[in-house]
Amino acid sequence: MRLLTFDVGGQTRLGAEHRGRIIDLQNAASLRELAQHGLSAANAVAERLPADTLAFLERGESALTAARETLGWIQDWPADIWYALDGQSAVIYREDQVRRRAPILRPPKIICLGLNYRDHAAESGMPVPKEPVLFSKYATSVIGPDEPIRLPTDSTEVDYEAELVFVIGKRGRYIPAAEAMAYVAGYMCGHDVSARDYQLRRGGGQWMAGKTFDTFAPMGPALVTADEIPDPNALALSCRVNGETLQNSSTREFVFTVAQVVSYLSGIMTLEPGDVVFTGTPPGVGFARRPPVLLQDGDVVEIEVERIGVLRNPVRADRRG
Ligand code: MN
């Protein structure tokens, strides 16, 4: 499934892409129960299939199954019925009737890996790490597709980083690598926007400050469930700025695989449903280029990951106040 979070009529809802349309999963499940088992069954759907992505992930396999059954029920419907009336809650929407948001609006944790591609470590002049290099972002940095990345007023070196992001689906601590993939709910494109002046020089070089300005964690366009990604360690990924390809690689170049990262992190902290992990970026970032390429007001950045899609964000100068 390709899950997404979207806004319509002043509400934020959990949806799934289906035959070029967007299905409101909870409304669709309620309608199915109403048709098959009556009103009280329809009213019970909210508990089983929450409209909030984080609550949905916390329900685990039972919510995923309910969502799949709902999409199966809709499968044979003609594509052009049951659209939203303007601004009203409905079952099926066209893309232009909704606004996509980040698939997870406020992840409990946003954990990021540095230097997880062999070639990128080399281009940064750093040794290939023997243990994962970790840093974090905060929920205020999250934005979704098409939302602007804001250039901070006091950074002059904002850079792009294309990344595969995975999402935790099950609570766990001390997870063996051999069992780790059962804890991954799915995958998204991620953009680890980075203010290099803060990250590498200001205040002695502060990774966290450089990485977690507001809008510095774009994610999307959908949360693709793990069953649709047979091997996350073999996905092409790329970054385009204004249509020009500046990063083009594969997660085959990972230093640490998704399973190794899950296992390592769970040795430090309890992983929880909805936690997101940025898995590092391949070579080609702007500050390592000669001359450097830095993001400017008016740029458009696209992060593409095989089997997931394209995450596109415009870049805008920020203003104080
Ligand atoms: Mn990164």
For residue 117, give the CATH number of its domain.
3.90.850.10
Q: CA 56 to CA 149: how far, in whole Å?
A: 28
Nearest to 164, CA basis, from 304, 19, 10, 299: 304
What pLDDT, on a 0 to 100 scale, did the predictor assign at position 54? Answer: 96
List all residues 6 or more positions away from 281 whose beta carbon is below 8 Å from its beta carbon: 116, 117, 120, 161, 162, 163, 192, 247
Tell how far the Cα of 57 is from the centroid of ligand 1, in angstroms: 25
Judged against a pLDDT cut of 90, whether residue 35 lies above it is answered with no
Judged against a pLDDT cut of 90, whether residue 281 lies above it is answered with yes
What pLDDT, on a 0 to 100 scale, did the predictor assign at position 82? Answer: 56
- One domain, residues 255 and 109: yes
- One domain, residues 186 and 253: yes
What is the H or E stretch that residue 24 is in?
strand 21-24
Tell how far the Cα of 87 is from the centroid of ligand 1, in angstroms: 38
- One domain, residues 274 and 149: yes
What pLDDT, on a 0 to 100 scale, did the predictor assign at position 117? Answer: 95
Cα distances (angstroms) measured from residue 149 to each of 42, 141, 237? 40, 9, 20
What pLDDT, on a 0 to 100 scale, did the predictor assign at position 292? Answer: 95
Backbone phi, psi, residue 277, to 5°: -130, 120
- One domain, residues 219 and 91: no
Tell how far the Cα of 315 is from the centroid of ligand 1, in angstroms: 18
Nearest to 266, CA basis, from 185, 165, 184: 184
Range from 25-39, 54-68, 185-199, 294-308 carrying the lowest mean pLDDT: 25-39
Tell how far the Cα of 191 is from the centroid of ligand 1, in angstroms: 8
- One domain, residues 94 and 133: no
Tell how far the Cα of 163 is from the centroid of ligand 1, in angstroms: 7
- One domain, residues 276 and 141: yes
Tell how far the Cα of 232 is from the centroid of ligand 1, in angstroms: 17
The token pair at 248 is 């083009």
Q: In Å, how far from its chain's centre is CA 190?
A: 5
- One domain, residues 123 and 225: yes
Q: Which residues span the domain enclosing 221?
A: 104-317
- One domain, residues 197 and 312: yes
Query: Average pLDDT, stretch 291-317?
Result: 97
Report pLDDT digits (tens) over 164-215: 999 999 999 999 999 999 999 999 999 999 999 999 999 888 999 999 999 9
What pLDDT, on a 0 to 100 scale, did the predictor assign at position 122? Answer: 79
Tell how far the Cα of 134 is from the centroid of ligand 1, in angstroms: 10
- One domain, residues 70 and 192: no
Tell how far the Cα of 291 is from the centroid of ligand 1, in angstroms: 20
- One domain, residues 158 and 289: yes
CATH code of the domain covering residue 10: 2.30.30
What pLDDT, on a 0 to 100 scale, did the predictor assign at position 83? Answer: 53
Tell how far the Cα of 187 is from the centroid of ligand 1, in angstroms: 16
Provide the mean pLDDT of the chain. Answer: 93
Tell how far the Cα of 216 is from the centroid of ligand 1, in angstroms: 11
**The last residue of a domain, from among 52, 77, 100:** 100
Domains identified in the chain, total number: 2
What pLDDT, on a 0 to 100 scale, did the predictor assign at position 121? Answer: 79
- One domain, residues 136 and 285: yes
The pTM score is 0.95
Count of alpha carbons within 13 angstroms of residue 12, beta-carbon side: 14
Tell how far the Cα of 107 is from the centroid of ligand 1, in angstroms: 17
Q: CA 129 to CA 170: how far, in whole Å?
A: 28
Neighbour tally for 287: CB within 10 Å:
18
Sign of the dihedral defined by the CA atoms of residues 223, 228, 234, 237, in that order: negative
**The last residue of a domain, from among 44, 76, 100:** 100
- One domain, residues 260 and 128: yes
Judged against a pLDDT cut of 50, whether residue 86 lies above it is answered with no
Query: Average pLDDT, stretch 62-87?
Result: 76
Tell how far the Cα of 116 is from the centroid of ligand 1, in angstroms: 8
Report pLDDT digits (tens) over 220-239: 999 999 999 999 999 999 99
Confidence of residue 80 (pLDDT cuts 50, 70, 90): low
Tell how far the Cα of 91 is from the centroid of ligand 1, in angstroms: 37
Q: CA 165 to CA 309: how far, in whole Å?
A: 12
Tell how far the Cα of 113 is from the centroid of ligand 1, in angstroms: 6
Range from 37-41, 111-115, 265-269 carrying the lowest mean pLDDT: 37-41
**The last residue of a domain, from among 100, 115, 148:** 100
Neighbour tally for 307: CB within 10 Å:
14
Tell how far the Cα of 311 is from the centroid of ligand 1, in angstroms: 16
Confidence of residue 85 (pLDDT cuts 50, 70, 90): very low
Amino acid identity, position 238: S
Residue 127 or 294, more confident: 294
Supply the DSSP string of 219-271, one letter for each residue: EEEEEEEGGG-S-TTS-EEEEEETTEEEEEEEGGGBSS-HHHHHHHHHTTS-B
Tell how far the Cα of 310 is from the centroid of ligand 1, in angstroms: 17
What pLDDT, on a 0 to 100 scale, did the predictor assign at position 120? Answer: 81
